[in-house]
């Protein structure tokens, strides 16, 4: 397989555009779009595009050589200034529930799909520009994005992929040379910020909301067409089944993929922040990185989203329940495609999510703790006690699980083992004797549980393979953003290299594995963020 020497060699097969009706109105202004799956729209040209960073391994997925992604043409294309032959740029139409309430039509308000690349392995990759200008779905917004949010999405997409979490990818982030007015916390303090465009890459950007909108509008022929298209393109193994069995098998797979994605989120301490149904991928990919965050101090109630600070609907501990709720909305949307007598089968598939999630979660927790398998008779209690200690003692989640692999199996060293965890406490001076005793007591139970394992020689290696040393903490991303806004992109590139090896020790980058510093706890961008982030 040879890499391409020019972007003009990319091959586009735009299956979604070919299969579905387009918006009949060609003017680009915000409106309701009916009986169509997308609207043709071109990216808005920018004045002075400049490449901030690119991900070479994503470029390789597209067969691009260094000659391609280091060229001036690359900057022009992925800032939205130039279209390649075969691109059919469009914004897609979908709806969704936002914070539990039906919002009606939403759509790609600041995303434009450039087209679908077919690489030399026959894989399909949709290229999407976020922040490339107004679309018919922009509502009262401008369709643009700022540098801070674009850097956050670019880095997080790649960080999640290398953590082993199902996700969309990011090819590049570009400055536009324009300024964009944003009120970061919606508190009456708008300011001009640097505009930017990020290129997102995924096999598909189809969301739960695509199905919901067709169903809510009773556009059932389009709904059925979308289900059949989705199965034919990304779930081919179910095509041979009779219609309703085909739909049930497909929905079951969506439930499975969603459960596995959420388990991975919980494994690495990731909080999405905006689990609206329009932000849920039908492929079980993490999509739409806005006010996300990784847990610093372990807290089931933490959300990174200022908009969600009151209700905390999308808090860390509630993500599995929200995933189930969102799947229920998808089930409601496709229910009209089933006969009434077979709809209970759809409900049965939906309710199986909880059992599936529990099974996957148990496997995940066993691996984080270094067990060969989850022992239901005692590990539920062990985990519950651990979570209580982690939360009460305000312990850094990533540092704790990484350090846990160094716990000795020698019962005589229980008290001394507390010194292993000196660097994981955020408020060590507030540790009461009671909390310390609970911690010591848990460590004794943990040792006893490990001693029941038949083979523990490679425990540290196995635990380090699932407990990352490096995660993209918000304060690190903010530091990179601060530098980039001054024209220094070095930390963006450093963090990109860092997150590509999150489980390795990387001794020269140990400063990025430290817990959140005190100055970052309340600083904007370093803890909680808004939907503008």
Residues 293-306 have a mean pLDDT of: 95
Work out the number of other CB atoms within 10 angstroms of the CB of residue 217.
16
Determine whether 451 is exposed, middle or buried from the number of CB atoms within 10 Å of its CB (0-12, 13-18, 19+). exposed
From residue 196, give the alpha-carbon distance in Å to each of 190, 271, 482: 17, 24, 14
Q: Tell me the C-alpha distance between 293 and 310, whole Å.
A: 17
Q: What percent of the chain has pLDDT over 90?
A: 91
- pLDDT per residue as tens digits for the range 325-350: 999 999 999 999 999 999 999 999 99
In this predicted structure, what is the pLDDT of residue 414? Answer: 55
Residues 121-148 have a mean pLDDT of: 97
In this predicted structure, what is the pLDDT of residue 85? Answer: 97
When the pLDDT of each residue in the chain is averaged and rounded to a whole number, the result is 95
Q: Cα 238 from chain centroid?
A: 26
Confidence of residue 216 (pLDDT cuts 50, 70, 90): very high
Q: Cα 413 from chain centroid?
A: 40
From residue 527, give the alpha-carbon distance in Å to each of 276, 293, 477, 496, 522: 21, 8, 11, 20, 6
pLDDT at 416 over 70: no
Confidence of residue 413 (pLDDT cuts 50, 70, 90): low
- pLDDT per residue as tens digits for the range 20-54: 999 999 999 999 999 999 999 999 999 999 999 99
Catalytic residues: 278
Q: Tell me the C-alpha distance between 439 and 255, whole Å.
A: 36
What DSSP letter does each residue of 459-470 carry, written as one string?
HHHHHHTTS-S-
In this predicted structure, what is the pLDDT of residue 339? Answer: 95
- pLDDT per residue as tens digits for the range 262-282: 999 999 999 999 999 999 999
Residues 118-142 have a mean pLDDT of: 97
In this predicted structure, what is the pLDDT of residue 62? Answer: 98
In this predicted structure, what is the pLDDT of residue 533? Answer: 46
Q: Buried (b) or exposed (e) across 299-328, using 16+ Cβ within 10 A?
A: beebbbbbbbeeeebbbbbbbbebbbebbe
Q: Tell me the C-alpha distance between 67 and 323, whole Å.
A: 42
Helical residues (DSSP H) of 335-412, grouped into ranges: 343-369, 376-392, 397-404
Q: Tell me the C-alpha distance between 405 and 468, whole Å.
A: 12
Confidence of residue 412 (pLDDT cuts 50, 70, 90): low
SS3 (DSSP) at 141:
coil
Tell which phi-psi region holds residue 479, choosing left (phi > 0), alpha (psi between -120 and 50) or beta: alpha
Residues 449-456 have a mean pLDDT of: 85
**CB distance 365 to 269 below 8 Å:** no
Q: Tell me the C-alpha distance between 414 and 440, whole Å.
A: 7
SS3 (DSSP) at 240:
coil
pLDDT at 532 over 80: no
Residues 105-109 have a mean pLDDT of: 98
- pLDDT per residue as tens digits for the range 375-403: 999 999 999 999 999 999 999 999 999 99
Q: Buried (b) or exposed (e) across 220-241, using 16+ Cβ within 10 A?
A: eebbbbbbbbbbebebeebeee
Least confident span in 28-32, 109-113, 450-454: 450-454
Confidence of residue 436 (pLDDT cuts 50, 70, 90): very high
Question: What are the start-end ranges of the E strands in 17-62?
Answer: 38-40, 50-54
- pLDDT per residue as tens digits for the range 169-201: 999 999 999 999 998 767 778 899 999 999 999
SS3 (DSSP) at 440:
helix
pLDDT at 415 over 60: no
Confidence of residue 457 (pLDDT cuts 50, 70, 90): confident
DSSP state letter for 96: E
């Amino acid at each position: 397989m040879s890499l391409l020497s020019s972007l003009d060699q990319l091959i586009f097969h735009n299956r979604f555009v070919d299969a579905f009706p387009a918006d009949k109105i060609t003017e680009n202004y915000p409106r309701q779009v009916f009986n169509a799956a997308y609207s043709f729209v071109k990216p808005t040209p920018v004045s002075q595009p400049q490449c901030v960073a690119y991900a070479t391994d994503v470029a390789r997925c597209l067969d691009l050589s260094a000659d391609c992604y280091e060229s001036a043409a690359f900057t022009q294309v992925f800032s939205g200034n130039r279209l390649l032959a075969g691109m059919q740029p469009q914004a897609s139409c979908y709806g969704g529930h936002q914070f539990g309430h039906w919002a009606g039509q939403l759509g790609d308000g600041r995303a434009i799909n450039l087209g679908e690349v077919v690489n030399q392995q026959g894989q399909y990759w949709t290229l999407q520009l976020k922040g490339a200008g107004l679309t018919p779905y922009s509502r009262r917004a401008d369709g643009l994005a700022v540098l801070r949010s674009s850097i956050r999405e670019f880095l997080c997409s790649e960080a999640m992929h290398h953590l082993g979490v199902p996700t969309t990818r990011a090819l590049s982030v570009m400055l536009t040379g324009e300024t964009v007015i944003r009120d970061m916390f919606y508190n009456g303090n708008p300011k001009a910020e640097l505009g930017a465009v990020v290129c997102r890459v995924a096999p598909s950007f189809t969301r739960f909301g695509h199905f919901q909108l067709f169903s809510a509008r009773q556009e059932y022929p389009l709904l059925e067409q979308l289900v059949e298209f989705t199965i034919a393109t990304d779930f081919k193994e179910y095509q041979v089944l009779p219609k309703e069995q085909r739909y049930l098998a497909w929905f079951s797979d969506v439930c499975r993929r969603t459960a596995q994605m959420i388990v991975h989120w919980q494994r690495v301490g990731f909080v999405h922040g905006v689990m609206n149904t329009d932000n849920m991928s039908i492929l079980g990919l993490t999509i739409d990185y806005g006010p996300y965050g990784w847990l610093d101090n372990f807290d089931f109630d933490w959300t990174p989203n200022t908009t969600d600070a009151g209700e905390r609907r999308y808090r860390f501990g509630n993500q599995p329940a929200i995933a189930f709720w969102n799947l229920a909305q998808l089930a409601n949307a496709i229910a009209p495609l089933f006969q009434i007598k077979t709809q209970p089968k759809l409900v049965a598939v939906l309710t199986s999510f909880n059992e599936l999630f529990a099974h996957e979660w148990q496997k995940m927790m066993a691996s984080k703790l270094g067990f060969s398998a989850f022992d239901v008779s005692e590990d539920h209690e062990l985990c519950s006690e651990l979570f209580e200690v982690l939360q009460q003692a305000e312990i850094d989640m990533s540092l704790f699980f990484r350090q846990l692999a160094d716990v000795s199996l020698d019962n005589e060293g229980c008290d001394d083992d507390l010194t292993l965890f000196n660097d994981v406490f955020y408020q060590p001076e507030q540790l009461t004797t009671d909390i310390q005793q609970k911690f010591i007591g848990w460590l004794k139970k943990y040792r006893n549980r490990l001693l029941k394992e038949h083979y523990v020689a490679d425990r540290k290696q196995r635990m380090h393979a699932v407990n990352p040393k490096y995660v993209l903490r918000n304060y690190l991303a903010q530091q990179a953003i601060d530098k980039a806004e001054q024209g220094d992109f070095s930390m963006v590139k450093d963090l990109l290299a860092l997150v590509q090896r999150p489980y390795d020790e990387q001794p020269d980058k140990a400063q990025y594995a430290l817990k959140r510093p005190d100055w970052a706890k309340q600083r904007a961008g370093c803890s909680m963020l808004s939907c503008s982030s």
